[in-house]
Amino acid sequence: MLDEKGIKVTSARFLVEGQTYAVGGITSVMKTVGEPPSKLGPIVTIVLGAVGLFNGAATAIIGLMVVVVGVLWFRSRRTEHVVVLTTAAGEKRAYKSADEDFVDSVVVALNDAIVHRG
């Protein structure tokens, strides 16, 4: 039903990141949007780089490089989407990714596998 990016969904099994889940034991599947990751680290990096920019010519180049790293780090932080499985034992966060479309396709494949098993 799905075999991409290290994720495999069949009518019997869901294999993800070294874990195997029996589809027969999964009662429901949902996708959640996790909280956006903390951006405190990149902001502190940008501020420290800005301080270096205005501390003289010797530190200006290093300060500029630190600011650039901080901005790139800030822009790379993405909200992660999570596949949550519900079983008799409770909820399990089985997979997370910033790629919302792929997470959606995993959820659809899992739901199809549950329906197929009956």
Residue 23 pLDDT > 90, yes or no? yes
Residue 44 in tokens: 């502190």
Summarised one tens digit per residue, pLDDT across range 33-54 is 777 889 999 999 999 999 988 8
Domain boundaries of the chain, sorted by first residue? 2-34+79-112, 40-76
pTM for the full model? 0.72
- Mean pLDDT computed over 111-117: 90
Residue 58 pLDDT > 80, yes or no? no
User: Do 109 and 2 meet the contact criterion of CB atoms below 8 Å apart?
Assistant: yes
Strand-pair partners of 3: 8
CATH number of 2-34+79-112: 2.30.29
In whole angstroms, what is the distance from residue 62 CA to residue 80 CA? 32
